[in-house]
Amino acid sequence: MSVERKLFGTDGVRGEVGAFLSAELAMSLGRAAVASLDVDRPQVLIVRDTRESGPMLEQALAAGIAAAGGDALLGGVLPTPAAAILVKRLGLDLAAVVSASHNPFHDNGIKFFDSRGVKLADEVEARIEALIEAAPGAERKGQVRELNGGLADYLRELQSAFRLDLSGRKVLLDCANGATCRAAPAIFERLGAEVEAIGVEPDGRNINAGCGSTHIGPLAERVAASEAEIGFAFDGDGDRVLAVDGNGKIHDGDELIALAARGMAARQELRGGVVVTVMSNFGFHQAMAEAGIEVAVTQVGDRYVIDEMRRRGWPLGGEQSGHIICSDFTSTGDGIAAALMTMRELGGRDLADTVPMERVPQRMINVEVGDRDALEGAKPVWEAVRDEEAPLEGRGRILLRPSGTEPLVRVMVEAPDADEADAICERLAAVVRRELA
């Protein structure tokens, strides 16, 4: 049963700085997070991305941690997955990340990882919310100090996990003017690759702006026009990645997960199957069935993928959007690790010559509605879905779901033919508008 939370969403507390996320709220979250721990003088790591609001929120969060009797260790600008790695490596009690991931610069957020490097459970986040008003200050205040060497530690973990020789490989990286600006080029160069990097000049406002995994077109064009054999685009906080082959073709998370799953299965490293979300392409499921690889499906959100991976003891999972988790390395999505995993699976092959799955044409329409929760009881909508699903059985699929944050219903259709997918999607969207708009 889900736990109701008012501040925390699927990936921490996130919103527009000033209008929602303030220094006062950050301080309260820091104080409440420490109060939720049954630890004497907790040690809490804080890392952030490159947004102009990052230093302000970092300092406010640290002040709340210290006020509650914890010590705040400031790691500076580092990818989100580095926090999950470092909290375990350094034996700390909690890690906090100040980032709004792929959102524009005027948004920011705060999310937490426990001492195992795992995102907090819904119940723990609900307890933190309850303590925001009630959490008292501590008689003995904590300290705020800089943590040196965090980037070096993270790079060592990556190099140790992916013992690759990339000598002679030409790689183009788009770091989204975000948290991977230093780490991604550094690890590829350390492994011997010839690296060209774009999106590595953050100014506080250009994070995710026309670059990175949410705007991969410029990288695709640049790779196609260059001598690079492959390109990787990260998002602002570095927990997701998409790839581009030497011809400029984009490869999403489904394709990268399929590539890894096939390789790991061939080496008998998969230890079960792979976990994806309801958004994964029908072609992914077909490819895994052909390879004899079991697939488990969760709701959208990498935290749900991770929970299912842990429950089943499976080492691989992720999302179409590029969140890819290999639990043999880390407990959360890591864009740089996923890029290195892709290079490992390719060996000496080009991504352009590798076909781990055949995508089924997909069409999605976001329909604005008055009440997204009314979808569940909208009988005419589900009758229309059943009528459209019958001819698609074994050939494609239909997915309707409410947005988690906006007054929208997402209508997605996959079919062997793009025109067929478009037509079905348009018909269903019209029914949703008629019944719920």
Per DSSP, the three-state class of 279 is: coil
DSSP state of 102: T
Cβ neighbourhood burial of 390 (10 Å; 0-12, 13-18, 19+): exposed
Q: Which of 36, 53, 101, 213 is the catalytic position?
A: 101
- For residue 179, CA distances in Å to 172, 187, 190, 236, 258 come to 17, 14, 18, 6, 27
- Strand order from edge to edge, sheet including 408-414: 362-368, 408-414, 397-402
In contact, 272 and 300? CB cutoff 8 Å: no
The reply to whether 101 belongs to the active site is yes
Give pairs for 420-428: CB < 8 Å, separation 24+.
420/361, 420/396, 421/361, 421/362, 421/363, 421/396, 422/363, 424/363, 424/388, 424/392, 424/398, 425/363, 425/364, 425/365, 426/365, 427/384, 427/388, 428/381, 428/384, 428/385, 428/388, 428/398, 428/400
107: alpha, beta or left? (left if phi > 0; alpha if psi -120 to 50): beta
Give the residue carrying structure tokens 């792929």.
102
Distance CA 2, CA 425 (A): 30
In contact, 86 and 160? CB cutoff 8 Å: no
In contact, 154 and 85? CB cutoff 8 Å: yes
Q: Which residues are catalytic?
A: 101
